[in-house]
Structure 1
Amino acid sequence: MNAQPLPEPQDRPARLTVGVVGAGRVGPALAASLRLAGHRPVAASGVSDASVRRAAALLPEVPIVPPSEVLARAELVLLTVPDDALPELIAGLTETGAVRPGQLLVHTSGRYGVSVLEPALRAGALPLALHPVMTFTGTPIDVQRLAGCSFGVTAPEELRLAAQALVIEMGGEPEWIAEESRPLYHAALAIGANHLTTLVAQSLELLRASGVEAPDRMLGPLLGAALDNALRSGDAALTGPVARGDAGTVAAHVAELRRHAPHAVAGYLAMARTTADRALAHGLLKPELAEDLLGVLSDVTDARGRGGSET
């Protein structure tokens, strides 16, 4: 995808003082990228030692102050706290009078749009939801990874140009998400990214248990090709014993997992059933083979109807 051109000067936000409420992995990286675009980080809040260290590494010389003080010093405030903490944070800042009219309040939650900022909007703030579609490490490499990163953006119509400008200045690509679509959008990303990490970590663990000395080197090319194929072709890229309908192989897999890694059985069965359903729906799995395969997947569940060891 080609990078979008920068908005015309009259459509760009002025150089702003920037504050971060919640110096986790995301906030300092976004503030650091805004600094590269000419904005000026002036304050951050953080409680844990790890958050203070992250802020020091990515935002040197930026003072750590309470959240209310961050809002007092900044024209643009990044609210980068966990999703479940966001509504209470916004309500608290608004009730204490910390929110100022004309202040840009930007949260980075994938789950929420701008409606969660309604209390601050009533106080005169300008609400934006800018969710970077990226996994963060809390290190300077995060700033580099923002180049070309998609942002799920929700904003009032009158603030769309400002939202677009901020995303582009951070090196990102804005993708407009309707307010009512935010939970579904976020669920899709969690399935793709968070669950992928779990699957890869589990695969590495099982390969080590089987005696493979360098499982990362073995998996790297395979998973890279599988991801590329899936992004290009979707379900047409499905391969392996489930897509082929090899019921005997799948039964052998489950038997080995029960013996050596019972904690992995439930996940294997859930993914195998989902893969079988998709392969069947797309004509990759023959119906006569699907019947045997689904019979195996049903037979290997325990008496409570779940995959796993009987403990």
Structure 2
Amino acid sequence: MNVQKPKVGIVGAGKVGSVLARGLSDRGYQLSGIVSSTLESASQLARELGVDASVRAADLMQDAEILFITTPDRCIGEVAAQIARENGFKRGQIVLHTSGCLPAEVLMPAKEQGAWIGCMHPLQSFANKEHTSERLAGIYFALSGQVQVIQQAEKIVNDLGGTSFHILDTDKSFYHGAACIVSNYTVSLMHWASRLYGKFGLSSEEALAALLPLLEGTLQNIKEMGVVQGLTGPISRGDGITVKAHLEALENERDKSLYRELGMYTLKIALEKGTIDQEQAASIEEIVRSDNRGK
């Protein structure tokens, strides 16, 4: 026996909103419509999914049992306030945002009109609006908010093929900060390393082609052995002379400072792994902390 799924509305036709709308549509959820800041962006996604588009949530969202606000974080509060001014929320409606950092309370205008509020954040990187719903399969979603919302969000995550966990709003900055370290700062490190490879003549494209298999191999090591046992490299081996050579090769203090900070953190992992002892760690720490000028 097929149970009819609740009707869902999407406010925000950006990267997250687009892939979420595709995912919900693919899993049998009826969409009440797509709302975005411009009719062009709303219409593009709406045409693909065969639903209506608008720039006003009140035009399409009154019959939505579940409403996702998938705008950038800085816009969520104002979008919720604008919908409330247009009487776009209704009693008993479930309203979620998809921010990994903001609390559910940013949706207070919806709550004041009788809606239940919460957050469903996909722990995934979306680089463009063209990702298919498969991008959501197998990922984790962080849920927060009122109990009624979390119960419904768990069902949605299950339908999308994901795994959900609960998080307190007070812990969201830690949660999202850690996610940014893994996702955003990996990009920063690849950009840094690619720039350094340019010092000996590789183009940015050649550097990326050379470094990607290394990154993929590192991720495979982590998958197979875990974070600690997946560590390799000179610090893991206790090769202080190599670390010293790296620091001496870096030409500006910003690069040296970043290398030192990462090196000090890596020392802790190497000690935990057990591939170096305290004496080796102290020797490498002395090298890492030195300014390397005139040495």
5 Å matches for 1:74-113? 74-113=64-103
Establish whether residue 151 from structure 1 lines up as the match of residue 141 from structure 2: yes
On the 8 A contact 1:17/1:40 being kept in 2, the answer is yes
What is the letter of the counterpart of residue 264 of structure 1?
D
Q: Could you state the TM-score of these two structures normalised by the residue count of structure 2? A: 0.84
1:205 counterpart = 2:195 = yes
Q: Does residue 228 of structure 1 match 2:248?
A: no
* Pairing of 1:184-203 with structure 2 (within 5 A): 184-203=174-193
* Structure 1 residues 61 and 158: alpha-carbon distance in aligned structure 2, compared to 1, 3 A threshold: closer
C-alpha separation in 2, matches of 1:282 and 1:86: 43
Q: Deviations over 1:247-299 (max 9, x none)?
A: 2222221222216xx65333322211211233235533322222232222222
Question: Do 2:13 and 2:45's aligned partners in 1 also have CA atoms closer than 8 Å?
Answer: yes
Aligned equivalent of 2:52, options 42, 46, 62: 62
- CA–CA distance in 1 between the matches of 2:248 and 2:140? 42
Distance 1:203 1:58, change over 3 A: farther
The letter of the residue matching 1:186 is H
SS state of the match for residue 238, structure 1? coil
- 4+ residue segments displaced more than 4 Å: 48-54
Distance verdict in 2 for CA 1:270–1:156, change over 3 Å: same
Measure how far apart 1:216 and its partner are: 3.7
What runs of 5+ residues in structure 1 fail to find an aligned partner? 1-7, 303-311
SS at match of 2:142: strand
* CA-CA distance at 1:60 after TM superposition: 5.3
Which residue, out of 153, 171, 174, partners 1:163? 153
CA distance in 1, matches of 2:191, 2:156: 35
RMSD, matched Cα: 2.9
After superposition, give the CA deviation of every residue in 1:1-60 in whole Å (9 maximum; x if it has no partner): xxxxxxx96xx7x43333222221000211111111222223323336984586367545
Tell me which of the two structures has the higher relative contact order, counting C-alpha pairs closer than 8 angstroms and 6 or more residues apart. Answer: 1
Paired residue total: 290
Q: Does 1:298 align with 2:295?
A: no
Check 1:253–1:216 CA distance in 2 against 1; reply closer, same or farther (3 A cut): same
Are 1:42 and 1:63, in contact at CA under 8 Å, matched by a contact in 2?
no
In the aligned structure 2, how far is the partner of 1:209 from the partner of 1:57? 48
Structure 1 partner of 2:165: 175
Q: 1:93 to 1:63 in 2, by over 3 A?
A: closer
For residues 110 and 178 of structure 1, what CA distance do their matches in structure 2 show? 11
Task: Map Cα deviations across residues 146-195 of structure 1 (whole Å, 9 max, x no partner).
Answer: 11121112243334432111112223222222333322221221111111
Question: What is the letter of the counterpart of residue 300 of structure 1?
Answer: D
Aligned match for 1:284, one of 254, 266, 275 = 275
**Mapped partners of 1:16, 1:66: distance in 2:** 21
Q: Does the CA contact (< 8 Å) of 2:42 and 2:53 recur in 1?
A: no
Cα gap change, 1:43/1:294 in structure 2, threshold over 3 Å: closer, same or farther? same
2:211 counterpart residue number: 219
Cα distance in 2 for residues equivalent to 1:229 and 1:150: 21
- TM-score under structure 1 normalisation? 0.80
Identity %: 28
